[in-house]
Amino acid sequence: MIIQVLGQQFSVCKVADYGEVDCCQPFVFTGSTDAEKSLVCPTECIPAATIERVDGWRAFRIEGQLDFSLVGILAHISSVLAAEKIGLFAVSTFDTDYILVKEVDLDRALAALAKAGDEILFA
């Protein structure tokens, strides 16, 4: 599997509303339930209506367009990272999966994935 590391820092947020969120910016992910509104975005794009936030995340994505019939991609990544005691936050788009790890864990995460046979590319 080819993993592309993104260059920017990310934040995971709980927001009051999405009024100030520019969903046309790259790497903006929203999730809304009956209990909360969540936002994952580059740290410099955090809106003022943020209730809570956790900064210091870095992200990588699975390169290419993933077919919906593919099985075990997130299981592979999460098991490799779990073996190293590295937590993750995952979001998906129509085409691929994005994995966020705390910046302090990024080098260890990439080393473990490379050791597991994954190819690492930097954006």
Considering the chain, what is the average pLDDT of its residues?
93
Annotate 6-27 with b (16+ C-beta within 10 A) or e (fewer).
beeebbbbebeeeeebeeeeeb
The predicted pLDDT at position 57 comes to 98
Q: Which amino acid is at 10?
A: F
Q: CA-CA distance, 33 to 101, in Å (whole number)?
A: 23
Between residues 69 and 111, the one the model is more confident about: 111
Reported pTM: 0.91
Q: Check pLDDT > 60 for residue 26.
A: yes
Pairing of strands 89-92, 2-15: unpaired
Please name each of the domains of the chain with its CATH number. 2-122 (3.30.2130.10)
Pairing of strands 2-15, 119-122: parallel
